Structure 1
């Protein structure tokens, strides 16, 4: 019985020694501190990158399970090799925070931004095309507006010319009407004057050429020498009779 117990203890001791040796070979020393040598990392989808790790002691063993991400489905941790943390972005775009946490040991936290460069390029191209189309549309609208303004200005100028021409025509018409009226007035005045002059001339001629009879006594001149029983009346011109203040006989000049 003692022999079996001794034999068991012997195997247990050997196993403990083996475990110590394996721990010394593969486990390394305990981690004191760790730093992820980056602040902000930008990646394209489906891209793999390496991030430098600074930690002490340098032979400390690190596990990828101790690197934590605050969101899943954006980045995955692939491996740790030669003080480099190998990560790969997936198909999903977004921001994720990476940090090492193991018991009381924590690293700094870094932000990893994953973007779909192809999608961004397509979106940028679409925006450029939309901006180009908008610029072309604005240029077209501006050209149309300028054409409308030009046409409106031309129409306004033509209307102004037509109004000016109509105004001149009206002024010319009024001028001609005024001249015609003045000519008519002048002609009428001239005709009236000529008529008056002619009448006066005729009257004067008649008065000069007409002969009347004046009596020896009295102040009436007669066209009939026998009127009022005149005896031996004197024949003179009517002008002469008027000059002598003779008045026409009411019987002779009714």
Structure 2
């Protein structure tokens, strides 16, 4: 469930003649999900990320319903986090360049300046070794 949203959950009471006015609605994570009853449904309101188990208890017999676990996430924050992680990954990509054994320039094209069997190296390493960019390639 997305943060700051509302979800309606149908309630099916068996036997049909049971009195639903005696039911207690429980949410174990009230800080994440608050619930209330409206016309035979549980209305779950989410407020912050977290988990909550919701269920119903009969006030007279203490019979407990099935438990529904609701996980609340902030989809926008998750998307931004994923985008940031992808940006970090792409910034860590290695750019390779070509250098000749005798030249002082690095090239983006291994065929530039008629090089023969150039070495493919990391651009950072080429710069650290004193190579400068080729004017034809860059």
Report the RMSD for the aligned CA atoms in angstroms: 2.2
Deviation at 1:64, TM superposition (A): 8.8
1:105 alignment partner in structure 2: 63
1:74 aligns with 2:32: yes
TM-score, length of structure 2 as denominator length: 0.63
1:56 to 2, 14, 21: 14
Q: Quick check: 1:121 aligned with 2:79?
A: yes
Under a length normalisation based on structure 1, what TM-score does the superposition of the two structures give? 0.36
Q: Which structure has the bigger radius of gyration?
A: 1
Secondary structure, counterpart of 1:66 in structure 2: strand
Other-structure match for 2:44: 87
User: Residues 34 and 45 of structure 2 are in contact (CA less than 8 Å); yes or no, is this contact kept in structure 1?
Assistant: yes
* SS of equivalent to 1:55: coil
Whether the 8 Å CA contact 2:23–2:57 is kept in 1: the answer is no
- If asked which structure has higher relative contact order (CA below 8 Å, sep 6+), I would say 2
Between the two proteins, the alignment pairs up a number of residues equal to 101
**In the alignment, which residue of structure 2 is the partner of 1:181?**
none
- Residues of 2 paired with 1:131 and 1:86: CA distance? 41
> Cα 1:61–1:100, aligned 2, differ >3 Å: closer, same or farther?
same
- Per the TM alignment, residue 46 of structure 1 is displaced from its structure 2 partner at its CA by 1.0
Alignment pair present for 1:134 and 2:82: no
Give CA deviations for 1:140-160 in whole Å, capped at 9, x if unaligned: xx33xxx3xx33x337xxxxx
Change (3 A) 1:56 1:126: same
SS of residue in 2 equivalent to 1:104: coil
Structure 2 unaligned regions, length at least 5: 104-138
**Which of structure 1's runs of 4+ aligned residues deviate more than 4 A?**
none
Written as runs of structure 1 = structure 2, the 5 A alignment for 1:96-245 is 96-102=52-58, 103-135=61-93, 138-139=94-95, 142-143=96-97, 147=98, 150-151=99-100, 153-154=101-102
SS at match of 2:51: strand
> Could you report, residue by residue, the CA deviation over 1:51-95 in whole angstroms, capped at 9, with x for unpaired residues?
1111122243335971212222100113231x32111111x1011
